[in-house]
Structure 1
Amino acid sequence: MRNNIWALLNKIAPQEVEELVRRINILSGVAKLRPVGRRKLASYLNTSERKIRSSAEQMAELGLITTQSSGMRLTKKGDELRARFEAFGKIPGNASDLQKRMSKYLDVPEVYIAPGDVDKSASLEAIAFLSAMVLTSYLRPGCIIAIAGGSTMATIADEMSTSYPDITVVPARGGIGSQISTQADFVASRLAEKLGCQCRLMYLPDDLDYSTLRKLEKSTTIKDVLGLVKKADIILLGIGRADSMANRRGLENSQMQTLLSLGAVGESAGHFFNIEGHTVYQSPSVGGHINFEGENHITISCAGGYSKAEAIIGAVRHHKPAVLVIDEGAAKGIAEKI
């Protein structure tokens, strides 16, 4: 398994990483012991009071903690950051037992697990933040990223902050549904904006018939974009439940029932598949025929929520990613299914 993100950052700026880890630990420690004094916190974190004082003073200036006679407490801003860094904090060191179990069960080389369950919190921030960190670790000068649409992909794009002006972002396929903010073109454009890099778009809906799509794919603009998709170094895909994705794609009720009767449990990149990973239906789409399998690129699949357990199992059997990012809710559901 490749070096984790913390190890990569440590090679670039070891002192900065040490301070970052200390501040994350302070956030966690203060959250558990509040109110807490510097001496007690230093003992709890097994570090010196001097280091705690230095870091805490700077964190107070940033509005992350408050210091009173009773001890330190987290501000609302500090507590929000602590919650988000819980996902980041799972990466350093050895993988957790749950990560190892998921990697073994699903036969996926790398599995990262964000805290929580999106089904309960209705927030994609934790899994998107972790996915963004994983994606950042794979970025290289000159690389091409193909990203699919969907709410998870859109949130990941918003979480990116690293500047990589010399890479290219393309949509992995055409748009989908009526919500523009989650269509692949829009998500790709947003990701490119956050990375400060160039972007090539398709400007096409996702619900055209096969004949029209095949004709459009011959146009110079679309052909050029599809050429970049085929050469993508990193492919970022979401995973959806078959029923909800069929609804998003505007399938009629009779079509949806037929799809579910065929055993469809999930969808990714336009392919509906059963629990064994076999395709039962492929929606018409520009780029839908492109094969994302192979060793010339890295596929990162992301999905969260207990309710998506079967969809995730089917997805990794349909097309095994190099990296899978899920949350604790999804991991629990997967463990119960396998």
Structure 2
Amino acid sequence: MRQLIELQRQLVPELLEVMRKRYKILQQVMLAGTIGRRALANVLSMTERVLRAETELLKEQGLLIISASGMSLSEEGRMVLEELEQLGPLVFGNSELEIKLQNMYGLQQVIVVPGNSEQSEASKRELGRAAGLLLKRVIKSGDVIAVSGGTTTAQVAKYLSLPGTIKDVMFVPARGGLGESLDYQANTIASMMAKRTGGQYRLLHVPDHISEEAYESMMQEPSIKEIVEVIRHARIFIHGIGDATVMARRRKTDPEEVRAMVAEGAMAESFGFYFNRHGEPIHKMKTVGMRLEDILKIECIVAVAGGPSKAVAIDAIMRFGHNHALVTDESAALEMIRMHEESGHHGEL
């Protein structure tokens, strides 16, 4: 496949340009759900005349449905778009933003979806869908996949699917999470992912934040010990990223403890740890599940987070240096790049 694409790139480079243009049309229609020609032309910075010719061709191919209310993807269009996205950088190359972020943080892969997921539900859905497609490429038969809670990983669960050739996959929560909103608990998300993929799941019925005494007691329970052992040997870990103070308050952390964390420089929270702006873990909640030493050994760690207000937190977690892939949106990517460019002129962030 790679050889064929390289030959096409050399012999008929215009073919890949046409493919890229039609891919962008299908992608934007999918994001919008239903969209008029004029609005789509504006989004793509394309003349209506050129767009009309392209969309008519896509309609003839059975990929677009055009009605009085606008354009939408047919089922076949969705399948073609997903196939194109599986080929990803191989066909279209990485975008400039993706390459910059890869180089900034030394990541193996970066996916940047259009828009601002804090302002647009479509962009938030696309974050989940892009992460789901990435997982589809990396999950193997027999894998254990650990997941964190949160609104963004819940979006990933909605869009995750696996080919029938992948068997015996198990989804587990990365840590205890009782006490958070049920829809966004890691237990709920692990079970949703399993149901969508035909996989198995195990649940961890312990609170999110417990005392030292309770922790020691729970870790003596055979059933808890067994599931924790499974969690700590996950090959893949998918997690969200949060602002440190927002997450601490959401977890009803003692105000005095929150003030102490802020004084220590806590900027970001992920997988039960709080990090400063240099990516150094400075505070750990006492939770049952994955430990920092387990995270350091995981083969594939995928972070999913977007929105400009998360840029500082994402930057801190990426500086921690143990993620392999990042799925984010344009608004967060641009803000992170701006921060790095400023730090280059005015010293370390």
TM-score by length of 1: 0.78
SS of residue paired to 1:187: helix
Closer/same/farther in 2, CA of residues 234 and 102 from structure 1, 3 Å limit: same
RMSD: 3.3
Give percent identity, aligned residues only: 27
SS of residue paired to 1:207: coil
8 Å Cα contact 2:148-2:271 kept in structure 1: yes
Q: Which one of the candidate residues 269, 283, 294 is aligned to 1:281?
A: 283
The 10-residue stretch of structure 1 (204-213 or 301-310) with the greater mean CA deviation from structure 2: 204-213
Closer/same/farther in 2, CA of residues 39 and 230 from structure 1, 3 Å limit: closer
Alignment of 1:224-263 (within 5 A): 224-263=226-265
1:109 Cα offset (Å): 2.1
8 Å Cα contact 1:59-1:65 kept in structure 2: no
Distance between the aligned counterparts of 1:294 and 1:207, measured in 2?
A: 22
Distance between the aligned counterparts of 1:184 and 1:295, measured in 2?
A: 21
Deviations 1:27-56 (A, max 9, x none): 4696326866999339xxxxxx9xx37x62
Q: Which one of the candidate residues 140, 165, 168 is aligned to 1:166?
A: 168
1:288 Cα offset (Å): 4.5
8 Å Cα contact 2:101-2:333 kept in structure 1: yes
8 Å Cα contact 2:307-2:329 kept in structure 1: yes
Alignment of 1:97-176 (within 5 A): 97-121=96-120, 124-162=124-162, 164-175=166-177
Closer/same/farther in 2, CA of residues 298 and 23 from structure 1, 3 Å limit: same
Deviations 1:43-72 (A, max 9, x none): xxxxxx9xx37x625235xxx224x9xxxx
Aligned to 1:10: none
Closer/same/farther in 2, CA of residues 277 and 57 from structure 1, 3 Å limit: closer
SS of residue paired to 2:110: strand
Closer/same/farther in 2, CA of residues 239 and 286 from structure 1, 3 Å limit: same
8 Å Cα contact 1:309-1:330 kept in structure 2: yes
Q: Which one of the candidate residues 59, 76, 87 is aligned to 2:63?
A: 59
Distance between the aligned counterparts of 1:261 and 1:236, measured in 2?
A: 29
1:321 Cα offset (Å): 0.5
1:262 Cα offset (Å): 1.2
Unaligned runs of 5+ in 1: 8-19, 43-48
Distance between the aligned counterparts of 2:295 and 2:288, measured in 1?
A: 17
1:40 is aligned to 2:53: yes
Closer/same/farther in 2, CA of residues 151 and 271 from structure 1, 3 Å limit: same
Q: Which amino acid aligns with 2:151?
A: S
8 Å Cα contact 1:177-1:250 kept in structure 2: no
8 Å Cα contact 1:234-1:297 kept in structure 2: yes
Closer/same/farther in 2, CA of residues 77 and 94 from structure 1, 3 Å limit: closer
SS of residue paired to 1:169: strand
8 Å Cα contact 1:177-1:248 kept in structure 2: no
1:165 Cα offset (Å): 4.4
TM-score by length of 2: 0.76
1:271 Cα offset (Å): 0.4
Name the count of aligned residue pairs: 301
1:313 is aligned to 2:315: yes
Distance between the aligned counterparts of 1:38 and 1:128, measured in 2?
A: 28
